[in-house]
């Protein structure tokens, strides 16, 4: 799907309509409706492609087989369709195509207790459950608006708010006796009625209808079926509890299978790990395979009807390593049969191959890759358990990691447009999108500009740069309007987040100086991205704009140097005349901006690593700390930082947590999957020298490894690198499909193509 036109609007026949149920609800509850159509085929077709969409979520069934969950997450301007071939599930004679559709409430209708709240990412409306299908099969047309469709409104599911993960909305409490039985495969299931036809997908007189349909811009998610051994028989009028362990964190649709048990209550609690108590509000996490402590968090409840084998699956995937199953039986024996779960995630293809002498490298690589996989579904996500929201800072790093290990740009192209779509009239972007709750972290818009230029460097796609150039200008214009009397940006309003520094917990991660005036961090990040903006304008031959941005940048840097440099401490303070705090952040951004160079850069970066009075960078900022060390010609010092990741292995973590240490909230946060970038780009040393990798640079920098061998994917083909450091000699073997510059350890630069072996003395 690489190169697909992004956000392609579909032109569909006007007689294919959105359909919905007759609604008798009040107060905007979460609603579920079952839709189906029954039709006959004279013979089983060889191909039967359908187009399907729903508001907000659907599960598709064909003759009782569950095929797909969708649609891809959109926003108020983009509703996506899924294209799927259902031929292998059809048969000659009678067939049923069915869909379970769940709709959430609009933001404005949220109850005070949030009990009708869906996920933050669901861009809901007030229309209730809606379904759209185009299905012109060989021998039958099952399109909505053309074929006979019927509906049944659900009365079995109640929703309970999960306050520990409120971003994910309410979870389910289901009365199995009220669920329709066999409705996906049995046309005689009672209670169904003719659907109501809604609007079509066309534009008339320039008026856009609701839910205007667009082609799905990304690949379908993987569906990998797995099972958990479980055979439990629970006597009447008793309580029983057990825990299932998948051995690794996963994101999956889970299926509870039971027999009998009328009057029982079964609660499934999903957890990343056990929690141990030490008096702190959340407790702490220890070795993840240690099954002691408590399990709490998101949970669903099912109450069996007690009639034969029943299967219950929540409407959306859950994130878990452990599932605690708590049972209270009534007057009837309950049998719990083996669980099935279907792992789901974006099809990320790890194409990097490597050998490193240190055992930790492959192990940290494995948990880092797993982290990125579990934070990629229909969007990038900060974490799969608590939020599943696409935040710009997190996502920019995740995209860099994706480029580095797979070369894929499909999700990145969609993501760029997601944020572009989120722009406010004042010119700033939302910091997480899609989301019906509008959040603005100004600095995150700057990271979107970095994301845009990353895309160009990866692809050489000038068209995309031009497409979003006005958005870049809008963001810079917004910042410019927040320039204060000292010539620095200040009082950015909204949430002037800088980093999750523990000393800033009381002000939600904002640099304390920003509460009183200019923040050194905020100004240096802005200055850094102004240079990126200038590069974008040069890429587009808009040299006057490039000069304008660089002039503004020079003014900011001069002011930071004048007002924020502390000559007594030889460090940058966190704001003009604000000597209460000094941070790693200000030092690293000064180096990245080039106002501290040479020996001065080395001095302040040495202080950043050794002076414990400096507030430290969190996990998410390690990427920029590594870049600053590299800029100061101190990449060797990153060896002292890798123990943060190595220590995760002793905890039996299968993913990288939100923060190192025992008080992490999330066990899976892809901003910490840094090795996915460092290994191919700095251990192997393969970097683009020109956009689209038409020319590359090979410069291994992690000499502390002693030796390394790897194959790295690029848009022009794989690059093989092997190097060794022996007795002061550096030897390197390279195979490259395009012209490359090899930077040797003595400073020599050699232009090569094809296979080559080089060596030099190390300075």
**Tens digits of residue pLDDT in 122-148:** 988 899 999 999 999 988 999 999 999
Would you place residue 1 in the very low, low, confident or very high pLDDT band (cuts 50, 70, 90)?
very low
**653-689 pLDDT per residue, tens:** 999 999 988 999 999 999 999 999 999 999 999 999 9
Percentage of the chain modeled with pLDDT above 70: 99
**Span 427-437, pLDDT tens digits:** 999 999 999 99
CA angle 548, 552, 554 (to 5 degrees): 115
Per-residue pLDDT at 5 exceeds 60: no
Using CA atoms, how far apart are residues 412 and 401, in angstroms rounded to an integer? 11
Q: Are 649 and 366 in contact (CB under 8 A)?
A: no
What's the first-to-final CA gap in the chain, in angstroms? 46
Residue 279 pLDDT > 90: no
Task: Tell me the β-bridge partners of 20.
Answer: 196
Q: What is the pLDDT of residues 341-391, one digit of tens each?
A: 999 999 999 999 999 999 999 999 999 999 999 999 999 999 999 999 999
Confirm whether 19-154+179-218 and 224-345 share one CATH topology.
yes
Q: How far apart are CA 489 and CA 484, in angstroms?
A: 6
How far apart, in Å, are the Cα atoms of 646 and each of 260, 367, 404?
Answer: 48, 11, 21
Average pLDDT over residues 478-488: 96
Cite the DSSP H helix spans in 632-729.
643-649, 675-678
Nearest to 249 by CA among 293, 218, 285, 278: 285
> Which pLDDT value is given to residue 578?
85
What per-residue confidence (pLDDT) applies to 18?
97
Instruction: Report, in angstroms and rounded to the nearest whole number, the Rg of the chain calculated over CA atoms.
Output: 28
Residue 270 to residue 586: CA distance in whole angstroms? 40
Local structure of 589: helix, strand or coil: helix
Give the pLDDT mean for 411-418: 97
- Give the count of beta carbons closer than 10 Å to the beta carbon of residue 439: 16
Interior CA angle at 658 toward 507 and 275, to 5°? 100
Partners of residue 240 on adjacent β-strands: 327
What's the gap between Cα 162 and its chain centre?
A: 21
Other C-beta atoms within 10 Å of 199: how many?
16
CATH class, domain 347-459+655-672, is mainly alpha
Report pLDDT for 6: 67
SS3 for 457-477 is HHHCCHHHHHHHHHHHHHHHH
DSSP state of 740: E
The structure tokens listed for 344 are 């789901």
Instruction: For residue range 172-229, list pLDDT tens digits in order.
Output: 999 999 999 999 999 999 999 999 999 999 888 999 999 999 999 999 999 999 999 8
Torsion of the alpha carbons at 107, 109, 110 and 111, rounded to the nearest 10: 170
Contact 616, 554 (CB under 8 A): no
pLDDT for position 404: 98
Peptide bond into 63 cis (omega under 30): no
pLDDT at 313 over 70: yes
| The CATH number of the domain covering residues in 224-345 | 2.60.120
Name the band, by pLDDT with cuts 50, 70 and 90, for residue 11: confident
Tokens of 244: 């299932």
Domain 19-154+179-218 belongs in CATH node 1.10.1660.10: no
pLDDT digits (tens, 9 = 90+) for 572-589: 999 998 888 999 999 999
pLDDT for the residue numbered 554:
98
Q: Tokens standing for 191?
A: 């209670």
Across 3-12, 291-300, 319-328, 702-711, least confident range: 3-12
The torsion angles phi and psi of 20, rounded to 5 degrees, stand at -150, 175
Task: From 183, 97, 185, 184, select the one nearest 135 (Cα to Cα).
Answer: 97
Task: Kindly report the pTM of this predicted structure.
Answer: 0.96
Domain assignments of the chain as residue spans, ordered by start: 19-154+179-218, 224-345, 347-459+655-672, 696-761
- Greatest alpha-carbon pair distance for the chain in Å reads 88
Phi, psi of 332 (to 5 degrees): -125, 145
Contacts of the segment 596-601: beta carbons below 8 A, 24+ positions apart: 596/572, 600/570, 601/631, 601/632
Asked whether the predicted pLDDT for residue 406 surpasses 50, the reply is yes
202: how many CB neighbours lie within 10 A of its CB?
14
DSSP code per residue over 473-531 = HHHHHHHHTTB-TTSSB----S--B----GGGGGGTTB-GGGGTS--HHHHHHHHHHHH
Percent of the chain clearing pLDDT 90 (strictly above): 91
Task: Tell me what the pLDDT averaged over the chain comes to.
Answer: 95
Give the per-residue pLDDT at 28. Answer: 87
Query: CB neighbours of 666 closer than 8 A, spacing ≥ 6?
Result: 272, 382, 383, 385, 386, 657, 658
Residues recorded for the chain: 763
**Sequential DSSP letters for 132-145:** EEE-EETTEE--TT
- State yes or no: pLDDT of 692 exceeds 80: yes
Q: Measured between alpha carbons, how far is 37 from 269 in angstroms, rounded to an integer?
A: 35
- The DSSP symbol for 680 reads I
């Amino acid at each position: 799907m690489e190169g697909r036109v992004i956000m392609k609007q579909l032109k569909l026949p006007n007689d294919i309509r959105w359909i919905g149920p007759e609604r008798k609800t009040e107060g905007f509850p979460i609603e579920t409706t079952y839709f189906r159509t029954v039709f006959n085929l004279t013979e089983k077709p060889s191909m039967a492609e359908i187009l399907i969409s729903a508001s907000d979520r659907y599960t598709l069934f064909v003759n009782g087989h569950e095929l797909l969950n969708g649609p891809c997450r959109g926003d108020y301007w983009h509703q996506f369709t899924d294209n799927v071939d259902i031929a292998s599930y059809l048969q000659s004679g009678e067939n049923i195509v069915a869909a379970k559709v769940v709709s959430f409430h609009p933001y404005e209708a949220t109850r005070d207790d949030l009990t009708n709240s869906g996920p933050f990412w669901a861009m809901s409306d007030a229309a209730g459950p809606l379904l759209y299908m185009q299905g012109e099969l060989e021998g039958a047309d099952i399109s909505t608006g053309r074929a006979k469709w019927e509906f049944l409104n659900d009365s079995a599911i109640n929703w309970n708010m999960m306050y520990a993960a409120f971003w994910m909305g309410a979870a389910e409490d289901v009365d199995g006796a009220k669920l329709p039985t066999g409705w996906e495969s049995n046309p005689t299931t009672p209670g169904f009625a003719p659907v109501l036809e809604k609007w079509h997908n066309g534009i008339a007189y320039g008026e856009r209808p609701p839910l205007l349909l667009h082609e799905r811009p990304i690949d379908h998610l993987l569906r990998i079926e797995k099972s958990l051994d479980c055979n439990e028989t629970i006597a009447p009028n008793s309580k029983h509890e057990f825990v299932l362990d998948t051995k690794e964190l996963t994101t999956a649709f889970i299926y509870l299978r039971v027999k009998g048990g009328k009057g029982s209550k079964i609660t499934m609690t999903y957890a990343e790990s056990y929690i141990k108590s030490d008096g702190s509000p959340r407790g702490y996490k220890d070795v993840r395979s240690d099954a002691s402590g408590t399990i709490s968090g998101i949970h669903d409840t099912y109450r069996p009807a007690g009639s034969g084998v029943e299967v219950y699956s929540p409407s959306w995937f859950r994130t878990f390593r452990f599932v605690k199953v708590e049972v209270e039986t009534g007057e009837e024996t309950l049998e719990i049969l083996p669980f099935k779960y279907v792992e789901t995630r974006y099809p990320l293809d790890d194409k990097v191959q490597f050998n490193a002498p240190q055992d930790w490298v492959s192990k940290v690589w494995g948990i880092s890759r797993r982290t990125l996989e579990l934070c990629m579904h229909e969007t990038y996500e900060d974490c799969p358990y608590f939020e599943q929201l696409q935040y710009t800072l997190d996502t920019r790093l995740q995209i860099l990691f994706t480029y580095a290990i797979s070369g894929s740009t499909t999700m990145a192209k969609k993501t760029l447009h997601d944020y572009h779509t989120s722009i406010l009239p004042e010119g700033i972007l939302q910091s997480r999108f899609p989301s019906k709750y509008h959040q603005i972290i100004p600095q995150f818009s700057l990271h979107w500009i970095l994301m845009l230029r990353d895309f160009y460097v990866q692809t050489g796609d000038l068209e995309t740069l031009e497409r979003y150039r006005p958005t870049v200008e809008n963001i810079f214009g917004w910042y410019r309007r927040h320039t204060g009397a000292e010539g620095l940006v200040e009082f950015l309003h909204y949430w002037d987040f800088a980093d999750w520094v523990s000393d800033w917990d009381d002000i939600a991660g904002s640099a304390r100086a920003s509460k009183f005036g200019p923040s050194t961090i905020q100004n240096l990040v802005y200055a850094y991205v102004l240079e990126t903006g200038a590069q974008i304008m040069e890429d587009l031959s808009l040299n006057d704009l490039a000069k304008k941005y660089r002039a503004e940048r020079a003014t900011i840097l001069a002011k930071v140097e004048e007002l924020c440099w502390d000559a007594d401490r030889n460090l940058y303070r966190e704001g003009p005349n604000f000597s209460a705090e000094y941070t790693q952040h200000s030092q690293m951004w000064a180096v990245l901006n080039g106002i501290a160079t040479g020996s001065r850069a080395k001095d302040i970066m040495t202080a950043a690593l050794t002076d414990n009075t400096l507030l430290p960078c969190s996990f998410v900022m390690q990427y920029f700390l590594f870049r600053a060390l590299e800029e100061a010609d101190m990449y060797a010092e990153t060896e002292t930082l890798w123990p943060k990741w190595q220590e995760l292995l002793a905890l039996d973590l299968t993913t990288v947590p939100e923060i190192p240490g025992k008080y992490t909230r999330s066990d899976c946060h892809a901003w910490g999957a840094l090795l996915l970038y460092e290994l191919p780009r700095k251990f192997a040393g393969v970097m683009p020298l020109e956009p689209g990798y038409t020319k590359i640079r090979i410069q291994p920098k992690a000499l502390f490894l002693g030796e390394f061998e790897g194959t790295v994917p690029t848009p022009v083909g794989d690059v093989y690198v092997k190097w060794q450091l022996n007795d002061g000699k550096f030897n390197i073997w390279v195979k490259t499909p395009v012209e490359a510059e090899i930077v040797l350890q003595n400073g020599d630069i050699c232009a090569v193509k094809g296979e080559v072996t080089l060596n030099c003395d190390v300075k």
